């Protein structure tokens, strides 16, 4: 069974869609500066997934118009996403 760790984290309300985490938490999660991740809220948990495998498809699909269009849709969605207000 996986080991369970409990971490307390204070989140301040932000309108710029940024979450600032302490350096020791980032190190514990093995996240590096500039690394692309996806955060998915599931119930009372946040699941973090690295996007490097997904983004590496860009090179393999460099000449694929459908892939380019799908990436444009994702980018527009990301740019228009509004974070819910923190409680």
The answer to whether residue 9 is domain-embedded is no
The answer to whether residue 74 is domain-embedded is yes
The answer to whether residue 4 is domain-embedded is no
Residue 58: domain span:
23-80
The answer to whether residue 36 is domain-embedded is yes
Helix (H) or strand (E) holding 46: strand 45-50
The answer to whether residue 3 is domain-embedded is no
What confidence tens digit (pLDDT) does each residue in 17-74 have? 777 788 888 888 888 888 888 888 888 888 888 877 666 666 777 778 888 888 888 8
Work out how many domains the chain is built from and give that number: 1
pTM of the model: 0.45
The predicted structure's pLDDT at residue 36: 82
The answer to whether residue 51 is domain-embedded is yes
What confidence tens digit (pLDDT) does each residue in 10-23 have? 766 677 777 778 88
In the chain, which ranges are continuous DSSP H helix? 23-28, 52-55, 57-60, 65-80
């Amino acid at each position: 069974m996986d080991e369970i760790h409990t971490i307390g984290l204070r989140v301040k309300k932000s309108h710029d869609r940024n979450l600032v985490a302490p350096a020791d938490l980032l190190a514990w999660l093995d996240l590096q500066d500039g690394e692309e991740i996806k955060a998915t809220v599931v119930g009372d948990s946040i699941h973090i997934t690295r996007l490097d495998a997904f983004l590496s498809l860009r090179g393999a699909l460099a000449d694929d118009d459908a892939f380019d269009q799908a990436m444009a849709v994702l980018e527009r969605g990301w740019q228009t996403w509004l974070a819910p207000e923190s409680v």
